[in-house]
Structure 1
Amino acid sequence: MLYTDGTAPQEDKEGSDTPEGCQVAKDSDPSLRPHEFPEGGLAAWATTFGAFLVQLCGFGYTTSFGVYQDFYTQHYLTNETSSAISWIGSLNTFLVTAVGLISGSLYDRGYFYHLVIAGSLLQSFSLFMLSLSKPDQYYQIFLAQGIGLGIASGLVYVPSIAVVSHYFRRRRTLAMTFVASGSSLGAVIHPIMLNNLLNGRLGFGNGVRASAGLVSVLLLIACLCMRTRLDPPITPANYITAARKCIRDAPFLFAIAGGLFFQTGFYYPLFFFQLDSIKHGLSITFSFYSLVILNVSNCVARVTSGFIATFTGVPNLIIVATISGGVLTLGMIGLSSLASVVVLGVMYGYFAGLYIAMIAPLVATLTPDLSELGARMGICFFISGFGSLIGTPISGALLTSNYIWWIPALFSGVS
């Protein structure tokens, strides 16, 4: 039998010169018994906290693109259509998951520290480059925010989630949902900060630089906190082999297909909710906080999802979340008042949070061999990520310059 790190159990040798007390101490140290999981401790929770910060700065920043969508549409890229602008955010989102195909494989081969350090440096660099972009220079923003920031977040996304499995088995879902809540907290902090900076005295350049400074500091703390515990497997998971196993794994295939369709419509509220509120005559101040309302509810969902999943099971909970998210997206057709924004924001944010929080635990649940966890996460996130790539540009094209809101809402809700 092999352990998750690829090693075999060692039998105790009789007549060992090791004193009995030292032997007991050695056996009581979880770090020296890789087949057993600490389920806690300083290193475990420090790593979990570091992964939480990575999600806050990575996916949390990506899902705050609704602020940029509104700002670019009305002020900074006025010559571009909503669909063209949404390509920046959708490519960013797609690369976060698509690059996971590479970072997941490298993670399985023991390159965890290389990935998180390189990803953190690239994310900081990309944000500072974004701050130097000029008005109506679409290609500059597309390169820095769409491509650079997307690749950077993708390098750290899968490793920061998967490393938690080094320390937890019984409490893995709870730990992973805590990590996932980092992105929703980031999606609360970043919109508040960006709306006040971009539309305030600092303007675009200095506002983005201030945001980049905060992200850089948090990523530095994350890199200092996270540590691996298990050695990489002797024979790393092969993507071709893992893919062949996935083809014969019906539940895993349905999970991927569901993720693909759901992510096609998932980001429409996140990208267009603030702009939708403004165009329906709500006050600009309140509209700035519409995304915050959605993401606060999203954060609550991610924190509580681990506890709910212990009673419902991960697959059941994610099914409820996807159905409810689709129905509520259709409900955006009726958005017209302050009350409707609050109700839709709270309810959609909660079920969207349940969905995001359950993706990683679902993949872990459907992975019989943990040595393939990085590969399976990469495959799942890569394929389902195509939904996020095409979803919002299609929604933006359906919206048109006349802002016909019911068409993209119908498309996204049905997806």
Structure 2
Amino acid sequence: MTQFEVRNELITNEKLDDLEELGRKQSSESSTSSTESEPLDGGRRAWATAFGSFLVQFCGYGYLNSFGVYEDFYTRIYLTNQPPSAISWIGALNSFLVANLTLISGLLYDRGWFYQLMVVGSSLQALSLFMLSFAKPGQFYLIFMVQGVLSGIGMGLMYGPSMAVISQHFSKRRTLIMALVASGSPLGAIIHPIMLNHLLNGTVGFARGVRASAGLVSALLLIACLFMRTRVLSTSTPSASYSAVARKCSREVPFILMTAGILLCQIGILFPVFYLQLDSIKHGIDVHFSFYTLVIMNAACVIGRCTAGIIAAYSGLLNLTIASTLACSALIISMIALTKISSVIVIGIAYGYVYGVYIAALVPLVTVLTPDLSELGARMGICFAFTSFGGLLGGPISGALLSSQYRWLIPSLFSGFICLTGSSIFVVMRLIIYPRR
């Protein structure tokens, strides 16, 4: 072999070595980037984020589901110049804003505004409660704007992003972790009513009682903001636009029926949540026991949410939704017979359980009717934007039917039968879907 050939061979081997080294670097970089783009399914940051999201649910929907305490206190003591229907608009608008603002907060979350949404939302909720403590008896419009509007905006900015951020940290255990995070809502609806009833109706009074509640909520939301963190994820497909998904949904009969069924159920299904405590007190049941009616109902709601997934595996998700809404309508109508402590306990436990099952089935039901999961967020936003009008109208309509004479028969029958109508739409939906399959 000549000297020239040896030199060429050495140069070629050096180039091959360089290419192999470059390939190893690129492979290492690509594996690192893919690792960073995939949820780790655990870790300190992931569990801290899950705990922070749990606290957001505890202070968000957990506090909202305690509005029955305020409804009772405002009706009997603080806003006696207003009928129950007007007072119920406070909680109804609060619930409406939480659901509808998910359309806005979801888009902002997709664009990387998670931390801003958490800080602004938690600040608004804490500010609304502190401002509420300065309201005087009879100042309905101030309470309406502060507790109904300002608090609803704060909760609405946090609710959707606090649940969506879980998907960045968990993959295989995502459903389980989301269920645990969502349990913060009924758990908060157990703790907050006990605290509020003892503060508002005790020696503390409204102003200092609401400030103490605001202090607790503010501290928990501060911890949540400090704990929650996001991860940079690379998405291979762009998120679907609301207009494109809305056009698809408008041509799908099962999706339309599902939305209509949930809308009708929402009109009647919140009647016990708003009025069970007031109903118990007005029927002469011990006041101190009546303060725990919402606690009993929400404790059963926790069990219902946790067992819904197990039952759905055997019965089917749509069948479970039909059964739970039928049971809710029957129990709402049975509130006519509420006269003793035993009847309050039975109705509270039974209704809390089936109501928890119904709530737990809503998001999976939307998922089942979503053929392309990249559209799931948009479909959920569209569905809940329509169905939130049911929660907005249900409480005030029931309050108007109840009137200042407290005629419990009429609102109980109305709420029960409107919920039964929604259940019948789910039955029609089942008759359409199953023959196709």
Q: TM-score, normalising length from structure 1?
A: 0.89
SS in 2 for 1:120: helix
Tell me what 1:9 maps to: none
Q: Do the aligned partners of residues 251 and 105 (structure 1) sit closer, same or farther apart at CA in structure 2, a change above 3 Å counting?
A: farther
With 355-364 and 79-88 compared, the bigger mean Cα shift is at: 355-364
Aligned residue runs from structure 1 range 88-127, under 5 A: 88-127=90-129
Tell me what 1:287 maps to: 290
The CA distance in 2 between the partners of 1:22 and 1:320, in whole Å, is 56
Q: CA deviation at 1:150?
A: 0.8
8 Å contact kept, 1:161–1:360: no
Q: Does 1:333 align with 2:346?
A: no
Tell me what 2:224 maps to: 222
Tell me what 2:175 maps to: 173
Q: Do the aligned partners of residues 38 and 313 (structure 1) sit closer, same or farther apart at CA in structure 2, a change above 3 Å counting?
A: farther
Tell me what 1:17 maps to: 21
8 Å contact kept, 1:90–1:388: yes
Aligned residue runs from structure 1 range 305-316, under 5 A: 305-316=308-319
Aligned residue runs from structure 1 range 39-78, under 5 A: 39-78=41-80
The CA distance in 1 between the partners of 2:32 and 2:327, in whole Å, is 46
The CA distance in 2 between the partners of 1:414 and 1:236, in whole Å, is 39
Tell me what 1:150 maps to: 152
SS in 1 for 2:137: coil
The CA distance in 2 between the partners of 1:300 and 1:194, in whole Å, is 23
Output the amino acid matched with 1:17: E
The CA distance in 2 between the partners of 1:328 and 1:344, in whole Å, is 7
The CA distance in 2 between the partners of 1:183 and 1:213, in whole Å, is 18
Q: Structure 2, unaligned stretches of length 5 or more?
A: 1-17, 419-437
What does the per-residue CA deviation read over 1:14-59, in whole Å, with 9 as the maximum and x for residues that have no partner?
956379799689848974243xx54444333332222221111011
8 Å contact kept, 1:66–1:271: yes
The CA distance in 1 between the partners of 2:95 and 2:415, in whole Å, is 16
8 Å contact kept, 2:266–2:390: yes
Q: TM-score, normalising length from structure 2?
A: 0.85
Q: Structure 1, unaligned stretches of length 5 or more?
A: 1-13
C-alpha root-mean-square deviation of aligned residues, in Å? Answer: 2.5
Q: Do the aligned partners of residues 140 and 43 (structure 1) sit closer, same or farther apart at CA in structure 2, a change above 3 Å counting?
A: same
Q: CA deviation at 1:75?
A: 0.7
Q: Do the aligned partners of residues 162 and 253 (structure 1) sit closer, same or farther apart at CA in structure 2, a change above 3 Å counting?
A: farther
Q: Does 1:32 align with 2:33?
A: no
**Taking every aligned residue pair, what percent have the same amino acid on both sides?**
56
8 Å contact kept, 2:37–2:234: no
Tell me what 1:401 maps to: 404
Aligned residue among 120, 134, 137 for 2:136: 134
Greater percentage in helix: 2
Tell me what 2:428 maps to: none
The CA distance in 2 between the partners of 1:21 and 1:235, in whole Å, is 29
Aligned residue pairs, count: 400
What does the per-residue CA deviation read over 1:200-221, in whole Å, with 9 as the maximum and x for residues that have no partner?
1211111111111111111122
Q: Do the aligned partners of residues 193 and 179 (structure 1) sit closer, same or farther apart at CA in structure 2, a change above 3 Å counting?
A: same
Output the amino acid matched with 1:192: I
Q: Does 1:348 align with 2:348?
A: no
The CA distance in 2 between the partners of 1:107 and 1:267, in whole Å, is 29
Aligned residue among 197, 203, 218 for 2:205: 203
8 Å contact kept, 1:173–1:361: no
Tell me what 2:416 maps to: 413
Q: Does 1:317 align with 2:320?
A: yes
The CA distance in 2 between the partners of 1:321 and 1:29, in whole Å, is 45
Q: CA deviation at 1:186?
A: 0.7
Larger Rg: 2
With 204-213 and 228-237 compared, the bigger mean Cα shift is at: 228-237
